[in-house]
Amino acid sequence: MIVEMRKGATQEEINEVVERAKSLNFGVQLNVGTDKVVVAILGSHTGQTPTDVFAVLPGVERVTRIMKPYKLASREFQPRDTLVNCGGVTIGDRRIVVIAGPCAVESEKQLRQAAEAVIRAGARILRGGAFKPRTSPFTFQGLQKKGLEILAAVREEYRIPVVTEVVNPQDVKLVASYADMLQIGSRNMQNFALLTAVGKSKHPAVLKRGFACTITEWLNAADYLLAEGNTQVVLCERGIRTFEDTVRFSLDISSVPVLKRNSHLPVIVDPSHAAGHYSLVPAIAKAAIAAGSDFLII
Amino acid sequence: MIVEMRKGATQEEINEVVERAKSLNFGVQLNVGTDKVVVAILGSHTGQTPTDVFAVLPGVERVTRIMKPYKLASREFQPRDTLVNCGGVTIGDRRIVVIAGPCAVESEKQLRQAAEAVIRAGARILRGGAFKPRTSPFTFQGLQKKGLEILAAVREEYRIPVVTEVVNPQDVKLVASYADMLQIGSRNMQNFALLTAVGKSKHPAVLKRGFACTITEWLNAADYLLAEGNTQVVLCERGIRTFEDTVRFSLDISSVPVLKRNSHLPVIVDPSHAAGHYSLVPAIAKAAIAAGSDFLII
Amino acid sequence: MIVEMRKGATQEEINEVVERAKSLNFGVQLNVGTDKVVVAILGSHTGQTPTDVFAVLPGVERVTRIMKPYKLASREFQPRDTLVNCGGVTIGDRRIVVIAGPCAVESEKQLRQAAEAVIRAGARILRGGAFKPRTSPFTFQGLQKKGLEILAAVREEYRIPVVTEVVNPQDVKLVASYADMLQIGSRNMQNFALLTAVGKSKHPAVLKRGFACTITEWLNAADYLLAEGNTQVVLCERGIRTFEDTVRFSLDISSVPVLKRNSHLPVIVDPSHAAGHYSLVPAIAKAAIAAGSDFLII
Amino acid sequence: MIVEMRKGATQEEINEVVERAKSLNFGVQLNVGTDKVVVAILGSHTGQTPTDVFAVLPGVERVTRIMKPYKLASREFQPRDTLVNCGGVTIGDRRIVVIAGPCAVESEKQLRQAAEAVIRAGARILRGGAFKPRTSPFTFQGLQKKGLEILAAVREEYRIPVVTEVVNPQDVKLVASYADMLQIGSRNMQNFALLTAVGKSKHPAVLKRGFACTITEWLNAADYLLAEGNTQVVLCERGIRTFEDTVRFSLDISSVPVLKRNSHLPVIVDPSHAAGHYSLVPAIAKAAIAAGSDFLII
């Protein structure tokens, strides 16, 4: 349920709405806009509560129900676009930002070369994996802490923000201390313990789409981050699993306008992961931008 | 197997290749370019025949095997782009052609209004369904012959080429006598009897992708048309069936660059069919053009 | 809409219902049971017609709407199980019938050997393809008419019913004159011209599931056969297209109880086609029987 | 790579193989059978090492490569079936074991009633969720620690082993101290941090299939558990995501024989989760048993 306060509603009036919600065992999330405040009333039993319970309170303009299963990620809760600040680079203000870098950090030399190439090509953010979620336990799992140190050194040297993946709730603090943005990988999109930990960190985060998850499930997962008070969330479309076998994953281009319509979060696209072959990347990248995405991860 | 003749090879030399092929029970298809001729040797047993059988013949430059299951639709057989002529409008020469019109022809008045709107909006080809393949037998199946007559009248009046669907091999001649281009629908992509009939007609044709068919199966289906000597074939991506439920079908944007790389046939995209909601069409249409498609069907 | 007549309703009363339906431009289908008659009122505009239009007529017991998109294939229209007679063998009476034979008829000798093996193993119906729907035009398309003659000869000699595929509406009569049951293949499940032709023939038919079609679409396709008055229809589950790659198609075992609950038509399972490897066939075949299917095609 | 030692090879000979592997930076896993020992040589670079490196050592009978990406879960590594002991109940010895219980533990009273019903119906193991991985953060997340205590009390009172889900690597020790078997849910199948933690615990575990993961990815995930020395692993098929919409998930019945052929781990099936409707459960459960699964979770 969304409680929109009148322009100029007092802090006292807002507090009364919050207290009423808490007395009914609901959670509460505030969206403080430039001229008015919106209060989200959260909980699985909101459907059984009449909207009048809040509509009669002083300072309330309107109470509406969010019919979608996701709440905080929805445009109903927040009509204006979210802007995410990744180490000084803004994502979501309609300028295309490119993020690039190697899949895994292998050595300082390799990452330095990558950073130079990336900056020369116009990308604004460097990415590189220190913790790698591999399908088999017998393949290289990333340099881990050593990889984070290399990332931090290159970030310092080239003055470029870095993004890297986190795979364990216990590592969130550690990774956040080295990186400007945390990446939650496709296989962890519904790892709710990890989402909660990244939410609590309030660190900017990229939430990649689970390769077989619907857009609704994806925005529900974003709600896990937002519910902990982390508003710095970027969504990354990276392709879905289908029967087509000329590509590794089928990029779901429709997800870009669907997300833009239903959510306020920035949307980025990872064309290289989906394509699985470099020759297809330019066409898919151009399509992603044409469809309205905010930036690209390559 | 592809037999490339030398520049200036004589007709006699070409004939000898063709006869050698026929003596081995192979089919043969010629691609006569501006400066050389390529002969495709076709049949399921080409793999057991050594390339030398043809390489030793006079006038032969090179013999190579096509490793892909589709042959005539492949870039190996024909490196240059195919241009398709639909009632005077060329498809495939890198200019964007828009084709638009109602799903089903309902009356002369309706189609006339549609034609006017379509022309005003800059579309170059009119579409409209007379025979409709419906999932249930109890829904409107189209005006059939009456619909074709309406199409023909409007085509005459507005001097705009028309495209319409054909669903039965027996109707191919009839439909071709009224329309500039035949459409083979998604559900008929592997209706090989229909493909063969449309191939024999040599009439320009749009082959829509089966909603759960791979690109390889699609190009194999195109081979059915090409094998009958019909070179006027356009491929239409219209979305594939996936688990995502905010759209009717997920447009497979990667298919555009994959087809452009592997085939010489023009590629068009049908964004409205896939989206299932008009508000998504502009974003998907722009993405389709950015990805390199030749025209749009809306 | 379903109009159930009272026990002992007169022919005149039934006629009146039929005429009322026709006067409203509806189609009509009768299901004459041992003690009462049910009339299906068919058409896309039944939703706009009040049930009272029929409920007030003499001899009418009850009028109900079929909420499912398929009508004639539904249990609402016909509660009792349909029995299909394939050359003297009954399908659908809870006894397991096995149908077996080679994918393609290659020669009289081959089919004779197959028939002997099949009979020895206890199968009751012989199958073999004369017209083969191949994904590529350059592979063997079946012996066609010659294949039908071989089938008929072996059927005569071994006194075993035969089933074979039909792929072109024009061939239905020809194939029906040689075979006891017509097979509509997976790729033709939504070839509505073929369905209509097989429906008109009133010949027993097996309708294989489209490899990416839902159960609802499948029962809609069955309605095309039933709407032409052909009640001898068997449904065949043969696996659906998924992402899993250790099998060719994933057998959808749940479809058996779903079909048994929602439809009166017999359900058979083709485990070998789905598995793509002979070692998996016994386990899948046993599972199919345990799930309640009526017979197997191997 | 698999190094099979001769019958009666000495401990010294085995040690030498292990040391040779370690000196080459490989991991090692031993499978000690009743009459011989098999040593798995693990690492992403085994492909570059000639088998002779091990074949020449004393006591070695044969060295073979495992071509599959998963190693420890494969039949090549361990030909005999694994038996898993869940609180005194053996899973994997061809007797059907039924595990049943409520999705979420809600109260002691509810679980006690469930336990009684479950025991009366013949089930041998009780299940119940204390930590629930929910798609939305605003729905009930389970009683957590309180739920575990209820489970433990009921286990004590009714002397029935219990299985419950774990969702966070940090909770593994806690949950293992209350439950006889740990469940790893579908959404966590590729949560490698959780897999590693459960592997290290050496506690019996059920690994549910990711709803869009291939069998190969699933067995790779099992390798994460086995690589930490946890041999008590059970695989649970619970349905995959497809386009079919009459069921929540399509049970992949073929996975049972595929797993039985390629792996030594017990296979169980969860028919109720897949069906999404109770009326389909009996048919699917019977099919699962007929296909060869070891037990059922309902």
**Closest-approach residue (CA) in chain C for A212:** C243
Could you tell me if C254 lies within 8 Å of chain A, comparing CB atoms?
no
Q: Which two tokens stand for residue B141?
A: 């199946």
Let me know if residue B55 belongs to a domain. yes
DSSP, residue by residue, C216-255: HHHHHHHHHHHHTT---EEEEE--B--S--SSSSB-BTTH
Residues D141 and D246 reside in one and the same domain: yes
Reported confidence tier of residue A3, pLDDT bands at 50, 70, 90: very high
Nearest Cα of chain D lies from the Cα of B275 at a distance, in angstroms, of 17
CB neighbour list of residue C193: distance below 8 Å, 6 or more residues apart = B167, B168, B169, B170, C169
CATH of residue A54's domain is 3.30.70.1140
C111 has a pLDDT exceeding 90: yes
Residues D137 and D268 reside in one and the same domain: yes
- Distance (Å, whole) CA B45 – CA C246: 27
Which of A17, A36, A64 is the C-terminal boundary of a domain? Answer: A64
Let me know if residue A78 belongs to a domain. no
- Partners of D134 on chain A (C-beta within 8 Å) are 192
Could you tell me if A190 lies within 8 Å of chain D, comparing CB atoms?
yes
**Closest-approach residue (CA) in chain A for C249:** A243
Each residue of B118-153: pLDDT tens digit?
A: 899 888 999 999 998 888 888 888 899 999 999 999
Residue D131 near residue D165 (C-beta atoms within 8 A): yes
Residue C62 near residue C13 (C-beta atoms within 8 A): no
How much is the ipTM here?
0.85
Predicted local confidence at residue C45, as pLDDT? 79
- Partners of C242 on chain D (C-beta within 8 Å) are 240, 242, 250, 252
C16 has a pLDDT exceeding 90: yes
**Is B243 in Cβ contact with D242 (below 8 Å)?**
yes
The shortest CB-CB distance from C252 to any of D244, D257, D260 is to D244
**Is D243 in Cβ contact with B242 (below 8 Å)?**
yes
Residues D131 and D206 reside in one and the same domain: yes
How confident is the model over C144-169, as a mean pLDDT? 95
Residue B206 near residue B187 (C-beta atoms within 8 A): no
The burial class, CB within 10 Å (0-12 / 13-18 / 19+), for A63 is buried
- Distance (Å, whole) CA B101 – CA B114: 6
SS (H, E, C) chain D: CEEEECCCCCHHHHHHHHHHHHHCCCEEEEEECCCCEEEEEECCCHHHCCCHHHHCCCCEEEEECCCCCCCCCECCCCCCCCCEEECCEEECCCCCEEEECCCECCCHHHHHHHHHHHHHCCCCEEECECCCCCCCCCCCCCCCHHHHHHHHHHHHHHCCCEEEECCCHHHHHHHHHHCCEEEECHHHCCCHHHHHHHHHHCCCEEEECCCCCCHHHHHHHHHHHHHCCCCCEEEEECCECCCCCCCCCECECCHHHHHHHHECCCEEECHHHHHCCHHHHHHHHHHHHHCCCCEEEC
Nearest Cα of chain D lies from the Cα of B241 at a distance, in angstroms, of 7
Residues D182 and D215 reside in one and the same domain: yes
Question: In degrees to the nearest 10, what's the CA dihedral of C116, C122, C123, C129?
Answer: -20
Per residue in B188-211, is it b (16+ CB within 10 Å) or e — as a string?
bbbbbbbbbbbbebebbbbbbbbb
Which residue in D293, D298, D254 sits closest to D95, CA to CA?
D293
Reported confidence tier of residue D155, pLDDT bands at 50, 70, 90: very high
Could you tell me if A94 lies within 8 Å of chain B, comparing CB atoms?
no
Let me know if residue D97 belongs to a domain. yes
B274 has a pLDDT exceeding 80: no
Predicted local confidence at residue D273, as pLDDT? 75
- Distance (Å, whole) CA D53 – CA C200: 72
- Mean pLDDT over the full length of chain A: 91
CB neighbours (10 Å) of residue C245?
11
Which residue in D109, A253, C1 sits closest to B287, CA to CA?
A253
**Closest-approach residue (CA) in chain A for C212:** A243
Residues B49 and B132 reside in one and the same domain: no
Residues D250 and D144 reside in one and the same domain: yes
Residues D127 and D261 reside in one and the same domain: yes
Query: Pairing state of beta strands C97-100 and C125-127?
Result: parallel
Let me know if residue D72 belongs to a domain. no
CB neighbour list of residue C94: distance below 8 Å, 6 or more residues apart = C294
Residues A187 and A258 reside in one and the same domain: yes
Q: Which two tokens stand for residue D182?
A: 């740990």
Predicted local confidence at residue B45, as pLDDT? 79
pTM of the prediction?
Answer: 0.90
Residues B110 and B59 reside in one and the same domain: no
Let me know if residue A72 belongs to a domain. no
Residue B257 near residue B267 (C-beta atoms within 8 A): no
Q: Coil, strand, or helix at residue A140?
A: coil
Residues C175 and C216 reside in one and the same domain: yes
How confident is the model over B286-295, as a mean pLDDT? 86
Q: Which two tokens stand for residue B3?
A: 């037999």
Residues B118 and B26 reside in one and the same domain: no
Reported confidence tier of residue A96, pLDDT bands at 50, 70, 90: confident
The residues with which A86 forms a beta bridge, in sequence order, are A89
Q: How many CA atoms lie within 13 A of C251 on its CB side?
A: 36
Backbone φ and ψ for A248, nearest 5 degrees, come out as -70, -45
Per residue in C76-111, is it b (16+ CB within 10 Å) or e — as a string?
bbbeebbebebbebebbeeeebbbbbbebbbebeeb
CA pseudo-torsion sign D188, D189, D192, D195: positive
Each residue of C250-294: pLDDT tens digit?
A: 999 999 999 999 999 999 999 887 777 778 888 988 999 899 888
**Is D246 in Cβ contact with C214 (below 8 Å)?**
yes
Could you tell me if B29 lies within 8 Å of chain C, comparing CB atoms?
no
Predicted local confidence at residue D293, as pLDDT? 86
What percentage of chain D has pLDDT greater than the value 90?
Answer: 67
Q: Which two tokens stand for residue D236?
A: 């649970």
Reported confidence tier of residue B35, pLDDT bands at 50, 70, 90: confident
CATH of residue A192's domain is 3.20.20.70
**Is C224 in Cβ contact with B138 (below 8 Å)?**
no
Tell me the Ramachandran region of residue C239: left when phi exceeds 0, alpha when psi lies from -120 to 50, beta otherwise: left
DSSP, residue by residue, C107-165: -HHHHHHHHHHHHHTT--EEE-BSS---SSTTS----THHHHHHHHHHHHHHT--EEEE
Let me know if residue A201 belongs to a domain. yes
Let me know if residue D20 belongs to a domain. yes
The shortest CB-CB distance from B283 to any of A240, A245, A257 is to A257
CA pseudo-torsion sign A224, A230, A231, A233: negative
Q: At what angle do helices D145-158 and D108-120 cross, to 10 degrees?
A: 40
The residues with which C90 forms a beta bridge, in sequence order, are C85
Predicted local confidence at residue B140, as pLDDT? 80
Let me know if residue C72 belongs to a domain. no
Predicted local confidence at residue C102, as pLDDT? 87
The shortest CB-CB distance from C242 to any of D242, D274, D275 is to D242
**Is B252 in Cβ contact with A242 (below 8 Å)?**
yes
Query: How many domains does chain B divide into?
Result: 2
A292 has a pLDDT exceeding 90: no
Q: Which two tokens stand for residue A252?
A: 């779901």
Residue C227 near residue C43 (C-beta atoms within 8 A): no
Instruction: Residue window 200-219, chain D: list those with CB within 8 Å of chain B.
Output: 212
Residues A173 and A216 reside in one and the same domain: yes
Predicted local confidence at residue C108, as pLDDT? 92
Question: Which residue range(s) make up the domain with D20?
Answer: 2-64
Q: Which two tokens stand for residue C252?
A: 């959808």
- Please identify which residue in the block is written with the tokens 């089928």: A250
D170 has a pLDDT exceeding 90: yes
Which residue in A120, A119, A102 sits closest to A111, CA to CA?
A102
How confident is the model over D220-239, as a mean pLDDT? 95
